[in-house]
Structure 1
Amino acid sequence: MATRPIERKPDWLKIKLTTGDNYKELKNMMRGKTLHTVCEEAKCPNIHECWTNRTATFMILGDICTRACRFCAVNTGLPTELDLQEPERVAEAVEQMGLRHAVVTSVARDDLQDGGAMIFAETIRAVRRRNPFTGVEVLIPDFQGSEESLRVVLAAKPDILNHNVETVERMSDKVRAKAKYGRSLELLERSKRIAPSIPTKSSIMLGVGEEWDEILQTMDDLRAVDCNIMTIGQYLQPSVNHLPVTKYYTPEQFAELKEEGQKRGFRHVESGPLVRSSYHAHDQVQSAQQS
């Protein structure tokens, strides 16, 4: 069902599009290796900046998601793709790009018994074999609450375990499909119990109907499960069929939220209108380690 048209974006959300040699080379590499990126599939506003700087977030397990979250531009349906050679192709691409920090995410694969955990783990190991000095961050789905699947991923020892709560608790059922706010917090808590040395990370987007005090409560909820890194960005409506934007937050408000997060003890808070979960991911890790 269509929602109201997308409203005009404020000036601070305008981005400079660049399609230089690095951008074109990376795009051709992804197509040549039949790899997907969340940069393209989710229509990330930072794709030109990141690809020009030779960074990308790989999206494994195909490009069709079994869930239909109202904020997300990724295609929804019944996936047919399960490519056991995909981990090696991701590792080859990381090697060719010369990445210091690789981010790997996926669509939700509720059709698979393990939710795709095994492919995540094999991708981490493959990247490490070819790129022993590259950090590996994974942004995982909730695996429908399966602790066994979470353990499979953690056993491969990613440098960062990322899982997004996406929004405040009150808005969660409206914004996300099948995912539960409490289950996301439980995943982050379990991760720290199973592998306490692996930093955890989560993200929320603003502008879907939340209140200021609910944002602060979400910070408190994440810190209560010892989440170490938090990213906060502006929700941008991908199409008229997606959830409408209820508010555009100013850069000053994002800066204030960064301070609030730092007060609460996050090792690093990345907060800004165009911030996405993996934006400046390598810098986030460095900052967290220094903290």
Structure 2
Amino acid sequence: MSSVKNSEKPLRIPPWLRIKLPKDNKFAGTRNLLDDLNLNTVCQSAKCPNCWECFGKKVATFMIMGTVCTRNCAFCNIGSGHVTPLDEDEPARIAEASKRLELRHVVITSVTRDDLPDGGSAHFAATIRAVRQALPDCTIEVLIPDFRGDWDALRTVLDAGPDVLNHNLETVPYLYGTIRPQADYRQSLDLLAKSKELAPHIPTKSGIMVGLGETDSGVMRVLDDLAAIDCDIVTIGQYMQPSRQHPLVKRYVPPNFFDEYAAAGQAKGIRHMFCAPLVRSSYMAEQFMKK
């Protein structure tokens, strides 16, 4: 991750973003199980504020294909640099962890691997199949990269039969140059639309963060774009600075604003809106499958 010089004064974290730590030992049990199976989670790598809560509930979002990303998004805490070869046994270990945790909904994401010819799509598919074999009754959600617009790679993932296809837009289009310089807003929208075309029975999902410098009218534009491609589930959460080297938070959005985002998205035709300060892409993801 490149260093960011912040000359502005950081905003004070508001009370609604203060997190209570758990009082039992379930968090350690989940972490030890993941360590035992040598598995990575985006919960830990991205410093998710909900990590304590989710691990305490024996829930985690598995991150495959290593802990080093080939991209350098400004908001992200996952490091970039030299990647490692794929671990062929990783899908089986994720299936084993899912079984031990007795998960009813498994969420699988990854670092972006632009170095691989298929972007890692075959590894995603292998992981889906391994989990499905170990837990036939669980639902599976994948949070995928853009595969550089390779629709064959997207088809590989969809053919493995996930229950939800998630790809995050992350922010408004006019911030991509500084926040997601190696990504393309239109390409990400096209991926979600193509997923609907290739597998209309698989719900699509996307999400953005607020607090990076966007306006509320910019958020509304994103909701319009997602509604236009019939995206089923949209999440909106507060950006929180992972370290001093990351961009400063430009604004802390009050909780009632998130209610307004949710109402606006539903009015535009988006079926499920999940918006709150601490919402992250896979936070409480199982509840959408219940709906």
Q: Aligned partners of 2:161, 2:179: CA distance in 1, in Å?
A: 31
Deviation for aligned residue 1:191? 0.3
**Match of residue 192 from structure 1:** 196
**Match of residue 216 from structure 1:** 220
The answer to whether the aligner puts 1:254 opposite 2:258 as a matched pair is yes
**Match of residue 282 from structure 1:** 286
Q: Aligned partners of 2:177, 2:88: CA distance in 1, in Å?
A: 33
Matched letter for residue 245 of structure 1: V
Matched letter for residue 239 of structure 1: S
Listed as ranges, the matches of 1:1-291 within 5 Å are 1-4=4-7, 6-18=10-22, 20-287=24-291
Matched letter for residue 264 of structure 2: E
Matched letter for residue 221 of structure 1: D
* Long gaps (5+) in structure 2: none
SS of residue paired to 2:107: strand
The answer to whether the Cα contact below 8 Å between 1:19 and 1:52 also exists between their aligned partners in 2 is: no
Q: Aligned partners of 1:94, 1:2: CA distance in 2, in Å?
A: 40
Q: Aligned partners of 1:195, 1:240: CA distance in 2, in Å?
A: 42
**More divergent stretch after superposition (6-15 vs 48-57):** 6-15
Deviation for aligned residue 1:212? 0.8
Matched letter for residue 258 of structure 2: F
Matched letter for residue 2 of structure 1: K
Matched letter for residue 237 of structure 2: G
Once the two structures are superposed, what CA deviation does each residue of 1:170-189 show, in whole Å capped at 9, x if it has no partner? Answer: 11221113111000000001
Q: Aligned partners of 1:26, 1:6: CA distance in 2, in Å?
A: 33
Once the two structures are superposed, what CA deviation does each residue of 1:245-287 show, in whole Å capped at 9, x if it has no partner? Answer: 1110000101111111111122211100000000010012223
Once the two structures are superposed, what CA deviation does each residue of 1:19-68 show, in whole Å capped at 9, x if it has no partner? Answer: 62221111011111110000000000000011101111000000000111
Q: Aligned partners of 2:223, 2:40: CA distance in 1, in Å?
A: 31
Deviation for aligned residue 1:206? 0.1
Aligned length: 287
Q: Aligned partners of 1:79, 1:252: CA distance in 2, in Å?
A: 41
SS of residue paired to 1:64: coil
Deviation for aligned residue 1:7? 2.7
Q: Aligned partners of 1:136, 1:6: CA distance in 2, in Å?
A: 38
Deviation for aligned residue 1:244? 1.3
CA root-mean-square deviation: 1.0
Paired-residue identity, %: 49
SS of residue paired to 2:261: helix
Matched letter for residue 228 of structure 1: D
TM-score (norm 2): 0.97
Matched letter for residue 204 of structure 1: I
